[in-house]
Each structure stands twice: as structure tokens, then as C-alpha cells.
Structure 1
Amino acid sequence: MSENNQLTPINQSVLSDSGFSGFERYLEGFGLPVDNVIASHDERIRIMQALPDFLNNLHPELKKDARYLSKFIAGSAVGLFDASLNFVWNEVVLSLRKKVVSYGLDYFFDSAIGGTLRDQFNDEDDLPSVKDQVLLDTCKKLELISDLLHRKLCHILDMRNQIGSSHPNEYSINAYELLGWLQTCIQDVFMDRISESALTVKSIVDNAKRIQTPLDKTYIAQFEQSIKALSPNMVSNLLTTLFGVFISPAFAENKVQRENIMELSEIAWEYSTEKIKYSLGEKIDSYRANLDEFKTEQSELFFKICNGERYYSVDARTIKLTLLCEQLETVHYGWDNYANETPVAREIMSFISAVADIPDIRIETVLKVFLVCRIGNDRYYCNGVSPSASRYYDKLFKMLDQKGVLVVLDILGRDENRNLLSGTYRPTHVKTICETMKSNILTDRCVAMLDYIIGFKGRNLDTVFKTKEFKEIKNGLF
């Protein structure tokens, strides 16, 4: 790196306390508080001394447009660490959006946006409408980020929501916490590259759209070998994208491309998960309900060629519950979720008088979104849970049989959902749910698992499912 690009350590005298002491006296002169406003002199020095090592590792191309990173440094220099956390998170979001654009917006939106909302998301200008949590989850699903990085970023997002300047709080971030989050963002996000699997999927779809001649047997054989090397989730993502291309009116007149797409789709279908096949089957009913004759006909043709008719979903309850769960998840992460969750939760429960009313292929979807909403966003107001919607969530958890209870525990025990088990209020809500699910129709071992979680003494519950005692109780149940 050239001498002009090298950062030199900041002279501590630049951050003399005198100016900040004067600022504090200025605030006091107006009767304003000064405690927990700016970080101490020593904390600011720790940040500024560490920054050169971090920033010298960034390529100039990455730095030249990183304005939020500049704002992070400015906030750190004056001691506004909570604002700096917001700034570095904004830079993370922008970096992930760039990865999404490089990977392909259509592929991303196909995975991130479900149901009737998909048609509203088409270009880069629509990315800001995707919630940060959905962005993280979809990037993980598409293998744009690793599982471990997904967990790290979920934690940083949670901290940003809890103790960043975007929400009222009295927590003081220290220099070491801020530096740790910055290191994750720089080394694991800004300097990270898209996985080989993700690039393979993108290349396959791009080639399928580009090639104007029939695919030969050699290409088809190579394609199948590539498919075998991908994870089932990645193949399912590919199948979803190929399905979307095949039913698109934009390709209606190109017979050769459509035939190529179907040849690839038949192979991808064989290696995709059952879950994605049922999910695509539900799309047919959505198109039919919306009177979209073209997409309905093309979807049915797609399933016929893949011999997938048995994955059709003709049950209106399944379709409705799917759309309502997507809507509930959307309003939960949106503005004024406490009020907006209630009518959606009420409508979902109007379809469910007993747990048997939930189709087997959607039991996990319904329970997952109810868990997320009932555990809440860990905010101070109403302990993060909609007061009026919570009765509907509790009603469902109270009616669960052993199978349903085990699904709930399985969801909570997954690493990807660890953020639901920690925080100020979430652990208490999880224990309340466990108490609600207890009934005399459960086996003694199932009740023992619930009691163990309820009685767990740790401040958070993110380790409860990994303890030796819990594993001994659950052994063989799930």
C-alpha cells in the first residue's frame, strides 16, 4: 500500500479533554445532563489507537465510498459510541446490499419476498424496503454470508436496536465492545466474498437465460454434477429461481429458452427439498386466486413436466395461513407493530380451533412466527410484546399437543434462533410460553423439559438446550 494510503496512529493530544470538558460545562449551563452523553477520554483514546490497524487492511476501493465508516470514526472521536454503532451498522447494510446486487436482485427477491408482495420488489431502489433481519436471513439462505457470520450480525443488529442511538436507552458502550463489532464488520463483511456455491447458482441461471440454442447432453451432465455438489437449500433456491423465470411473461415467446429452463428444472427438482416443492405448489393456488391465468397455466405445466402434481395444495386454509404468516412477520418488523399484529393474529386463529386444523406442512411456519411475535422485540414498552395480540399467541400455545410442543422446542433450540433466547425480557417470555404449553396430555419427559427451561437459573437461555441435563431429558424425543 502506498504511503499516502497508510494511516498513522492518532496523537493523543488531538483528543485533549479540555474541549469536551468545555462542552460538558456548556450543557450544564442549560441544566442538561452530562453523564452517559460522551465516552471518557481513555475510552476514546483506545478506539483511535486501534483504528489504523483495522483501516489499513481495507482496500482503497472499499474505503473511498465508505461514508458511514467516516461517520463511525467521527462519532468515536467525540465519544458518541452509540451513534458510531449505528453508523457501522449502516455500512454493513450497504455492503450486504452491494453483494445482493452482484449476486442478482431477482434471485434475492425470490427468496426474501413471499406471496403477493413479490411483484412490488424489482430493482435496487426496492432494497431499502427489505428489513435488516430479512436481509440477514436471506443472505444466509443464499450463502452470501456464512452461518457463523449470520449469528454475529444478528447479535450486532440486536445490540444496535437495544443500545444504539436509534432507540432510547441508558447503556454506555465501552471501547472494547465497539472495537469487537467493528472488527466483525470489517473482516467478515466488507472484506468477505460471495461463496462458490452462490456464484455457481448465479452462473447457472445467467447461462440459462443467455443461451439461445438447445442445451446438449454434455452441458446437461455437467449441470447435474454441479447440482450434486450444492447443499439441498441451495438447490431449492435454484429451483425457485428457475420456476420464476419459466412462468415470467418476459420469456413467454422464447421457446428454446423455456425448454432449456425446463431441462434444468427437472434435474434441480430431483435434488430439492420437499418443503420447497410444497411451497411452489401453493404459489399455483395464489395465482389462481388472483385470476392470473398465464402464471397459473405455466405453473401447472412446470409441475406436470417435473411430475410434481402431488405437491399441489388445493386446501384454501394452507394458502391463507401461509399468506397471513407472511403478513404477520412483515407487520412485526414494521412500524407500530403492537397495533398491527393484533388483527392478523386474530385472523390466523380464526382458522384454528384445534392444533389439528393446522396443515402439517405449515405447522412449523405458524409456530415460528407466533414464537417470534410472542417472545417480542425486547423493548421496554410492554416488555416488547403486543398486549392485545399476545392472547392469540397464548391461545395457540395452550392448545398444542406433544407433537406441537416438540416443534416449538426444536425451533427454539436451533442455533439460527439463539437471538430469541437472550435479552432483558425475551428469556422471561420463553419461560411463560413453556408454562403455557404444559398440560396433562404431555408425557412426563416432555413436561420435564419444559420445567427444566422454566427453572433454568441463567440470565439468558441461549445455552439451556446445550446443557448435559437437558440433552439427557430430551434424548430420543426430537
Structure 2
Amino acid sequence: MANELIVSTKNEVSTGVDHFTTALTSYLNELGLPTDKVLVAVPERQRVINNLPDVIFAIDGSRRQNSLYLSKFIAACGAGLFDAALNFIWDETVVNLRTKVARFDLEYFYDSVVTDPARRTKLKGESDLSKIEEWELVRGCHLTGILSDIGYKHLDYIRDMRNWASAAHPNQNELTGFQLVSWLETCIKEVIAKDPEGPAIEVKRFLNSIRNTNLTAGDAQHINAGIEYLPADIIKSLLRTLFGMYTAANAAVQIKSNIKLVAQKCWTLSPEDAKHECGFRYASFAANGEIDRKSAANEFLTVVGGLPYLPGDTLALEISEKIANLFTELCMVS
């Protein structure tokens, strides 16, 4: 039949690649365009084609069917455009990271990666993930436990190579077939074929409990015990999230009550810079005239014993204000 689908083997693909290269080179010559350093040598492309099956089949069938950029990656490799192929690896990785964040906990992610209060207020739903820079996306996934330590280091390197050696920017860097296969395997292993696990899942469950249940003191004891086993970076992100939830304009009484039961443990285990950050956010609320949020921040810091972490000038104003209030009360009594 004229329209019958013919399934090619990798050897047939390699042969077709060779013919394509010859034909395209002739066409470029005919147009008077450069042919040197346009397409990667055929042997390099064959290295990718020969190693692809073992790497690609690490992804389950349902996910492969939706991996559009991996198809583009293979097409670019076959055509000899390795710089474009690297771009497609990264595009597939970014799409997968955004999907994982959206399914995980958006508020927790935004609170973890965005420290500017004004910018944070503009980030609400899944569509706002496009406003997050790609380096922030990778870092945020690491901070929230979606990416492992080693996965973060690998992806940050691949992101850097994508910026310097891919078609994203003009360059004449040469990439090899084995490099591309290795980076593809890393992205598949650490992101595309992997779901969040361990501490990330624990934090997701914990935040779900904070938002949707009435915790008792007994419940809090179990949660506090679990917090002790979280990595330091995740505890830091968790403190930032709890502070953000507590000081949100629409924070429910139930949520605040739940947070009070666990905030002290999280505060105690958090690094100093995270504690000072809470103090600076309090100062920001005060400077912007956000009275309700300032009051909520004061409550939170009082619960955890964090008022000494206010910036010096803010702390001086707070002390002065309390002394003035105390003096007024004494005068009224007398």
C-alpha cells in the first residue's frame, strides 16, 4: 500500500542520516551558503542513535508518549544539529520540572525560591511558573526536595552548558554524541523518569495536614519528630513557608493554630540566615504599612522567640513603642 507505515531500524536511520547529510550539503553549496561546521559529523550522530534505545526506554511508555521535546531532540541529532538537540533536552527537563512542582505544592515552592515579598504576591497558580527563571526552577526544586543534591548539581551544570553550547545563544562550541547521550540520561534519571520521594513527600503530607486538619498536641509531637530528620535546606524552606502561611492576608485561624504547634521545632532547627530573613520580612511589612501582616509576623516571632532577629532599627522602634505603651498604661492607672 502506498501509505503503509515502514518502521526503520537504527541501522536504516543511520544510513538515511548519511544520505540526508550529502543531499543537504549539496543544497547549501547550490545556495552559496557555508557548509563547514554546520552539521556534526555522521559518526558522532551514529553514536547517539546507537545508544538512544537503552536510554529512552528508562522512561515508561505513558511518559514517552508525551515527551515531545525528546522527539525533537532525536530529530536534531539525526540532522546533525547537536546545539539544537541540547536545547531540546533542556526544554523537556523544564517541562517536567514545572509539572512536578504543580503536582507537588505550589505555595511551598514559591515560598522556598522567591524571597522578595512584592514579587511573591504575584505568583499564585501553575501558569505563574513561567515567570520563574530556569535557574530558580532548578534551585527551587532542590530546596523543596524534588531534586536530590546530586541531581541538582548535574542539572545546574547541564543548564550552564545549555546557555553556553546550545542553539539558545550564538556559539561555535562542538558537542559530541556521547556528551549528549550522557546529559540526556542524567535528565531522564533525575527528572523525567523520577518522582519526588523521601523528604519531599514528607513535607507535602505535613503541609497538607497544616492546611486541612485540626492538629492536636499529640499530632504535633509526631510532626516535630519528623522535622528533625529533614535535610537542612528543606527545613529552611519549610520555615519560610510556615512564616508565609501565618502572615498571609487570608490565613485561617485553624492554620495559624496548627502552625503554632510546630513552628518552634522548625525555628530551632533552621539556620541563622533563615531566622534573620523572617525578621527582615517583618520589617518589610512595617515599612509598607501592612499592619495586619506585621501583626501576624509579630505573633509568629513571639511564639518562636524570634523577636531578637528583627533588624536593629526595627527592634529599636519596637522597644520604644512598647515602652511608650507601658508608660501610657501606667499613667492611666495612676
State the TM-score, normalizing by the size of structure 2.
0.87
Instruction: Quote the residue 2:226 is aligned against.
Output: 226
Please state whether the residue corresponding to 1:250 is helix, strand or coil.
coil
Q: 1:8 to 1:263 in 2, by over 3 A?
A: farther
| Partner AA of 1:71 in structure 2 | K
Distance 1:223 1:14, change over 3 A: same
Between 1:232-241 and 1:8-17, the stretch displaced more is 8-17
Please give the residue correspondences for 1:371-382 in structure 2 after superposition, counting only pairs within 5 Å.
Answer: none
C-alpha deviation, 1:231, in angstroms: 2.3
Instruction: Say whether 1:27 aligns with 2:28.
Output: yes
2:321 counterpart residue number = none
Change (3 A) 1:282 1:259: same
CA deviations 1:331-357 (Å, max 9, x no partner) are xxxxxxxxxxxxxxxxxxxxxxxxxxx
Query: How far apart, CA to CA, are the structure 2 residues paired with 1:175 and 1:256?
Result: 56
Change (3 A) 1:36 1:307: same
Which residue of the partner structure matches residue 258 of structure 1? Answer: 256
Q: Which residue of the partner structure matches residue 142 of structure 1?
A: 144
Distance 2:201 2:294 in 1: 30
Structure-to-structure mapping, 1:53-68, within 5 angstroms: 53-68=54-69
Q: Deviations over 1:220-251 (max 9, x none)?
A: 21112101111233222212111111111222
1:277 aligns with 2:275: yes
Kindly indicate whether structure 1 or structure 2 has the higher relative contact order, using CA contacts under 8 Å at least 6 residues apart: 2
Task: For 2:302 and 2:161, locate their aligned partners in 1 and report how far apart those are by CA, in whole Å.
Answer: 48
Letter of the structure 2 residue corresponding to residue 31 of structure 1: G
**Partner of residue 169 from structure 1, selected from 158, 171, 178:** 171
Alpha-carbon offset, residue 59 of structure 1: 0.5
1:243 is matched with which residue? 243
Distance 1:200 1:54, change over 3 A: same
Distance 1:278 1:109, change over 3 A: same
Q: Which residue does the alignment assign to 2:53?
A: 52
Determine if contact 1:15/1:45 at 8 Å carries over to the other structure.
no
- 1:199 is matched with 201
C-alpha separation between the residues in 2 aligned to 1:259 and 1:110?
Answer: 20
Larger Rg: 2
Q: CA–CA distance in 1 between the matches of 2:247 and 2:219?
A: 23
Kindly indicate whether the alpha-carbon contact (under 8 Å) linking 2:107 and 2:124 is maintained by their aligned counterparts in 1: yes
Q: 1:135 to 1:7 in 2, by over 3 A?
A: farther
Deviation digits for residues 39-89 of structure 1 (CA, Å, limit 9, x no counterpart): 222222221121111122210121121111110011111111110100010
- Cα distance change on mapping 1:163 and 1:16 into 2, 3 Å: closer
| Offset, 1:256 | 3.1
The offset of 1:257, in angstroms, is 2.9
In structure 1, how many angstroms separate the alpha carbons of the residues matched to 2:277 and 2:49? 50
Q: Is the 8 A contact 2:217 2:261 kept in 1?
A: no
Q: 1:283 to 1:43 in 2, by over 3 A?
A: same
Contact persistence 1:7–1:56 (CA under 8 A): no
**Offset at residue 17 of structure 1 (A):** 2.4
> What is the CA distance between 1:315 and its match in structure 2?
3.9
Name the SS of the counterpart of 2:178 in structure 1: helix
Note the alpha carbon deviations across 1:113-133, whole angstroms, 9 max, x for none: 122211111111111121111
1:287-344 CA distance string (max 9 Å, x none):
111111111111111111222110111448xxxxxxxxxxxxxxxxxxxxxxxxxxxx
- The code of the aligned residue for 2:166 comes to G
CA contact (8 A) 1:140 1:146 kept: yes
Give yes or no for contact 1:15–1:41 (8 Å, CA) kept in 2.
Answer: no
Percent identity over paired residues: 30
Amino acid at match of 2:84: A
Secondary structure, in 3 states, of the residue corresponding to 1:249?
Answer: coil
Answer whether contact 1:9 1:48 (CA < 8 A) is retained.
yes
- Establish whether residue 118 from structure 1 lines up as the match of residue 120 from structure 2: yes
Aligned residue type for 2:258? N
Aligned-pair distance for 1:16? 4.7
Once the two structures are TM-superposed, the CA of residue 140 in structure 1 deviates from its matched residue by 1.6
The letter of the residue matching 2:289 is L
- Hey, what does 1:405 align to over in structure 2? none
Write out aligned runs for 1:358-397 (5 A).
Answer: none
User: What is the alpha-carbon distance in structure 2 between the residues aligned to residue 258 and residue 236 of structure 1?
Assistant: 19
Q: How far off its partner does 1:14 sit?
A: 4.3
Asked whether 1:305 is paired with 2:303, we answer: yes
Paired residue for 1:296, among 294, 297, 301?
294
Cα separation, partners in 2 of 1:209 and 1:315, compared to 1, 3 Å: same
Letter of the structure 2 residue corresponding to residue 103 of structure 1: F
What is the Cα deviation at residue 94 of structure 1? Answer: 0.9
Residue equivalent to 1:85:
86
Q: Which runs of 5+ in 2 are unaligned?
A: 1-6, 315-334
Q: How big is the alpha-carbon RMSD for the aligned residues of Structure 1 and Structure 2? A: 1.9
Kept after mapping to 2: 8 A contact 1:68/1:87: yes
The 2-side partners of 1:298 and 1:172 are apart by 55
**Maintained 8 Å contact 1:9/1:52:** no
Between the aligned partners of 2:171 and 2:249, the Cα distance in structure 1 is: 50
Does structure 1 conserve the Cα–Cα contact (< 8 Å) formed by 2:14 and 2:49? Answer: no
CA drift at 1:179: 1.0
Aligned counterparts of 2:8 and 2:236: Cα–Cα separation in 1: 45
CA 1:65 to 1:45, structure 2 compared with 1: closer, same or farther past 3 Å?
Answer: same
Between the two proteins, the alignment pairs up a number of residues equal to 307
8 Å CA contact retained: 2:113, 2:143: no
TM score, norm. by length of structure 1: 0.61
Letter in 1 for 2:298: E
